Amino acid sequence: MIIPALDLIDDKLVRLYQGDYNKKKFYDNDFKKILEKYKESGVKYIHLVDLLRAKVPSKYNINILRNIISHTNISFQIGGGIRNKKDINELLSIGAKKIVISSLSITDPNKTKKYLKYFGGKKIILALDIIINLKKQKEIYINGWRKNTHKILEDVINYYIPYGLNNVLCTDINKDGTLNGPNIILYKELSKIFSNINFQASGGVSSLKDIDNIKNTGVKSIIIGKALLEKKININEAISCWQKE
């Protein structure tokens, strides 16, 4: 599945370069127009992230997300600064279909286990963002990619599988926002090791060839942000490329 990404700071549409809040680019934030275009193209899901909430939870504004969701019947997976059960219930109440948990999966595994069991693995997506170190280990970063946890991706996935983990969004931070192509080797490895996990690939997609290459790794979905916003990729062509045999 092709999943367009919409990242927000306040009510503005933005993309960061490799997660750096000091390297952000703003885009036309006529969400109604964007969502109408995606709906016409057959988009089924949108990845919506509140970047401000992820960095400064006290500045969270649920009404911004509610207004965006209300413009369309496309399904949303929403993330950004989710820290407790109340946050999850609130997002589900405004229409979110899936909830993306990131830093919490590392900082509070007991809570995360409870949420996976309570809401179910189909509702919860773990967003595990990595940088591959000199030893070729996939180290997980949190807090808007500012903190290295020194946790290894495979270990964390294995830890949560017994509690119903079904969906993992994995971003190679060094690829995100670069348009330099995705980490194909990464997704091949993950799909081979964890054949029962539905992986979402994110970072670096800039062409139809990239989409074709990721599809062949075995991942279930691709998150595409900057390439769509900057018209490097046409959404209709992207969906056709993903669906072709």
Whole-angstrom distance, CA of residue 164 vs CA of residue 168: 12
Three-state SS for 106? helix
Give Cβ neighbours of residue 245 (< 8 Å, ≥ 6 apart).
none
- Pick the catalytic residue from 7, 50, 172, 176: 7
Q: Which two tokens stand for residue 160?
A: 């949560």
- Known catalytic residue at 7: yes
Task: Say which DSSP state 195 is in.
Answer: T
- Pick the catalytic residue from 50, 129, 176, 210: 129
- Known catalytic residue at 129: yes
Give Cβ neighbours of residue 235 (< 8 Å, ≥ 6 apart).
2, 4, 37, 38, 41, 43, 228
**Which residues are known to be catalytic?**
7, 129
